[in-house]
Structure 1
Amino acid sequence: MRSLSILAKVDLFMLPLMLAASFLAHLDKNSLAYASALGMTDDLHLHGSQYSWLSSLFYVGYLLMQFPNTYILTRMPIGKYLGTSLILWGACLPTMIAAKSFASAAVIRFMLGALEAGLLPTCIVLTSCWYRREEQPLRAALWFGPFSGIFGGVLAYLVGRTESETPAWKLLFIIYGASTVALGILCLFGLPDSHDNAWFLSESECKEARLRTLENRTGADMHKEWNFAHIQEALVDPKYWVVVVFAICQSITNAGITNFSPLILSGFGYSRELTLLLAAPQGGVALVIQVSASVLALYVQDIRCLLWILTCIPAAAGVMIIRFIDVTEYRVTALLGLYLTGFYNTSWVMAMSLISSNTAGATKKSFASVSMAICYAIGNIVGPHFFLDSQKPEYSLGISTMIISFVTMAICGSLYWSICMRQNRARDKQKYLLLPTEEVDEPENSKPIETDGDMTDFEMQAFRYTY
């Protein structure tokens, strides 16, 4: 019961901050699509591939910042890092209203990407440190939930209906930026850097909070020493490379869905206002599927890879509907196809939770988390350039690329599953003695926390991979 009480407190005080940070991050970076629908493209005189480049340049900055992130996450207090990042990128966002051309907007988008780069790896690490393996998928589904997809269109619609001398797309950036700065201040003071300074737990609860995650064998806290051997170990693990391929393909589909859904939807023949509202249900579909799949993973052991694979199928089917039917003649069918793409994000949540559950060692965990962010950036950099301006609003090349990506994502899920099973079988065949540092017999004893060391999943023979 005490463990459940601690979990409830962590969910009450930490999960909402991670959820809000992820929500605003997605809202901020995807605001480009809604700002474009509200007239930004015309005001900045964008033409040709310039809109695609504005989408990509965000992720160029995001990508370049991931390399120092690998180091920063093991050295800087993680709560302070996330709070500072929120404040800086929130302050940067409203500067978009000063942009007069593609060049000035491009610089701002690049800076936004660099400032937002710490969010994803930070939340992965926090989830790993504060939640047990079986608890992680549901929490990841919530903090990485597509709330921005649900509310982004509605908020853009409301802003667009506001009577103001300031253009609607500029108001959008001001509102989003101010909200992000306010949340950053809250995270700076409210998000604990470790179990030891969790202000919402008593001293004894702090110790138990650390102990309850020891069974993850992924480390109870972030160690402060850099270990290059952990990176070498990750690079020889086939699971790592499977996730790399998956993350790039998934991010290519993400680039299409987040940046071009409103533009694709406008090609169905709807008005600008109705387009913004009709984009919202796609996020609702994504949220329901993510949470349902994560609840299932909570109660059914080793089902995450299966869910990863299965949720790629309806997403691929939805894209194929849009690609191969006459969207103006069969608008309702095309709209349903667009909503089916909401299944796409569940595989990402399952993959993130598997990385969190299956990676031990501070530097290795940091490297794996940052690698996901790097792949996310790469996919989102190249993804928009498959959507050619000359092909709008059908975007035949971009949509065909998404179909190929969904198939590849399902294959990656199958490979990850088989690798985990093979590695577990190999460990089951080995005879070993449980290391003294891995024994956790008495919750009251805090010694395991201090002697747990910084061992990786490869080094711990008792470690078993979940799938």
Structure 2
Amino acid sequence: MTSKVQSEAYAAKPMEPLDHGQGEIIPLTQAQARRLLLKTDLVVMPLVVLSMTLAFLDKNALGYTAIYGLKDDAHLVGQQYSWLGSIFYFGYLAMEFPNLYLMTRLPIGKYVGTCLALWGACLCFMALCHNFGGLATIRFLLGILEAAILPCMMIINSMWYLREEQPLRTAFWYNTFAGVFGGILSYAIGHINGSMSTWKYIFLIYGATTVLAGALVFFGLPDSPAKAWFFNAEEKNLALIRLAPNQTGIEANKKFHVAHIIEALRDPKCYCIWLGVLGYALANAGLTNFNPLIISGYGFSAARTVLMATPQAAVAMVSQAILTTISFFKPNLRCIFWVFGSVMGMIGAVMLHSLNVETQRNASLAGVYLMGFYNVPWVFLLSLSSSNTGGATKKSFMGMSIAVVYAVGNIIGPQFFLSSQSPKYALGIGMMIFSFALMAAAGLVYHGLCFFENKRRDSKYGMPHDDADVGLEADRNDLTDVQNTNFRYTY
């Protein structure tokens, strides 16, 4: 027999029970839903935050090591440093298509943990390199190993959290802790009086920490709610009921559907996501690899430069925390905040491009910090892709394609920063102005597409049914957001 379950996960009274066809009736109460969410936040969220923080810390390490003598010790000339920024993403790009298959076949927790441990080991090997060839080879391998992390995090986000819970959690795991603490850590490491160059200590310390974190994630991050070691048997079933209203699927490992990929390629909303990603990636390439070098042009010492870079990351962290919290309580503000963050970043880039460093240093430096808003549109963009994509293969493809566009943008971006224009990098800053404008335009169009598609579905199919059994049925049949006429987009 079958019976319906109210989809509201936080109902004040016990929900109508779900019959699994085995005589087992499982109600879901407000207290149970809160306990499930709390357990998830206490175990899953720290592990994914740790993974992404180390990913950012490791990537940002290149900029800090440049301040501490990497370019001189490795005899880098011309655009070779820029190519170290780009070549990472050649490896990243090369691995994305294999990842599309691997993410639907391998246990996702074990996969992420293994990649973490291996790229930590590679980062340690960076300290042994003494020329461009060695550094470029290791950077390429780092790109291969990190390629799976972002797509996996997007799947994990939609696997463990309700749609309204995802923006705030995305802000946590796609954080700028690395930017804030990376400068402070690099400043502290800069005071080590050892036999090696300071930049080598940065790679060794960051790499060893990442290896240990990989082991922790491998053994601690469950592959799905149904396999969570911190849920008992009843809670594993309740977790599926709690997440059913997402109607985007819960299990990560399902049959590969080519039709899901074709659907994504025909969906204009996906192109808005991709254009937004491209804009972000171009800006990210400049800020990740050249922000410390830009700030050094204000006349600060090496140690002071790494500290002066931290406020930009603090702006990103605070702004995305505030805006994602607001979006949790007020629905359908994500695209508005996406556009707002893009515009604020563009204002900062215009200030940096137009103000004279010698006579207006403080105002120009304020422009650098305003560009910290660049992370806000990215957080909302990722959460929207997770929330609005149904079907296991389509979700995996969107995660992979976002990573591909992200890689392409990060390959192209550093090439606009010409060594002959250091430290002002007029062409590179001009490119970032364009990238912020592209992000803003993509957010506006995405908002309109979702809004009018919801209106069309309401008119054609009537108001959606939020029963949990509808969501479970969509999950069992592996329906995409387009196939599921009961699905409505958030924006």
TM-score, normalization: structure 1?
0.96
Residue 26 of structure 1 aligns with which residue? 56
1:242 Cα deviation after fit: 1.1
Determine the C-alpha separation between the residues in 2 that align with 1:431 and 1:450. Answer: 16
Residue 452 of structure 1 aligns with which residue? 476
Number of residue pairs the alignment of both structures matches: 461
Determine the C-alpha separation between the residues in 2 that align with 1:328 and 1:393. Answer: 13
Query: Are the equivalent residues in 1 in contact too, given 2:171–2:320 (CA < 8 A)?
Result: yes
Determine the C-alpha separation between the residues in 1 that align with 2:102 and 2:342. Answer: 34
Structure 2 segments unaligned to the other structure (5+ residues):
1-30
Equivalent position to 1:328, from 346, 351, 358: 358
Give secondary structure in 2 for the equivalent of 1:192: coil
Determine the C-alpha separation between the residues in 2 that align with 1:116 and 1:8. Answer: 29
2:477 counterpart of 1:440: no
Query: Are the equivalent residues in 1 in contact too, given 2:461–2:485 (CA < 8 A)?
Result: no
Between 206-215 and 43-52, the greater mean CA deviation after superposition = 206-215
Determine the C-alpha separation between the residues in 1 that align with 2:91 and 2:294. Answer: 26
Query: Are the equivalent residues in 2 in contact too, given 1:439–1:448 (CA < 8 A)?
Result: no
1:243 Cα deviation after fit: 1.1
Equivalent position to 2:390, from 314, 335, 360: 360
1:381 Cα deviation after fit: 0.5
Determine the C-alpha separation between the residues in 2 that align with 1:17 and 1:85. Answer: 14
Deviations 1:389-412 (A, max 9, x none): 010101000001100111111010
1:334 Cα deviation after fit: 1.5
Runs of 4+ aligned structure 1 residues displaced above 3 Å come to: 431-435, 447-451
Residue 128 of structure 2 aligns with which residue? 98
Q: Which runs of structure 2 are paired with 1:295-306 in the superposition (5 Å)?
A: 295-306=325-336
Task: Please tell me the residue identity of whatever aligns with 1:166.
Answer: M
Structure 1 segments unaligned to the other structure (5+ residues):
none
Give secondary structure in 2 for the equivalent of 1:98: coil
Task: Please tell me the residue identity of whatever aligns with 1:330.
Answer: Q
Equivalent position to 2:211, from 176, 181, 187: 181
Task: Please tell me the residue identity of whatever aligns with 1:455.
Answer: L
Residue 75 of structure 1 aligns with which residue? 105
1:30 Cα deviation after fit: 1.6
Determine the C-alpha separation between the residues in 2 that align with 1:289 and 1:161. Answer: 31
Query: Are the equivalent residues in 2 in contact too, given 1:269–1:328 (CA < 8 A)?
Result: no
Aligned-residue identity in percent:
46
Determine the C-alpha separation between the residues in 2 that align with 1:432 and 1:296. Answer: 29
Query: Are the equivalent residues in 1 in contact too, given 2:273–2:442 (CA < 8 A)?
Result: yes
Residue 485 of structure 2 aligns with which residue? 461
2:445 counterpart of 1:415: yes
Task: Please tell me the residue identity of whatever aligns with 1:32.
Answer: L
Residue 243 of structure 1 aligns with which residue? 273
TM-score, normalization: structure 2?
0.92
1:158 Cα deviation after fit: 0.7
Equivalent position to 2:304, from 274, 284, 298: 274
Residue 291 of structure 1 aligns with which residue? 321
1:453 Cα deviation after fit: 1.7
Give secondary structure in 1 for the equivalent of 2:477: coil
Deviations 1:104-144 (A, max 9, x none): 11011000000111110111100001000000000000000
Give secondary structure in 2 for the equivalent of 1:353: helix
Determine the C-alpha separation between the residues in 2 that align with 1:140 and 1:150. Answer: 18
1:330 Cα deviation after fit: 1.8
Determine the C-alpha separation between the residues in 2 that align with 1:347 and 1:433. Answer: 30
Give secondary structure in 2 for the equivalent of 1:311: helix
2:461 counterpart of 1:431: yes
Q: Which runs of structure 2 are paired with 1:56-455 in the superposition (5 Å)?
A: 56-431=86-461, 439-440=467-468, 448=472, 452-455=476-479
Query: Are the equivalent residues in 1 in contact too, given 2:59–2:288 (CA < 8 A)?
Result: no
Give secondary structure in 2 for the equivalent of 1:340: helix
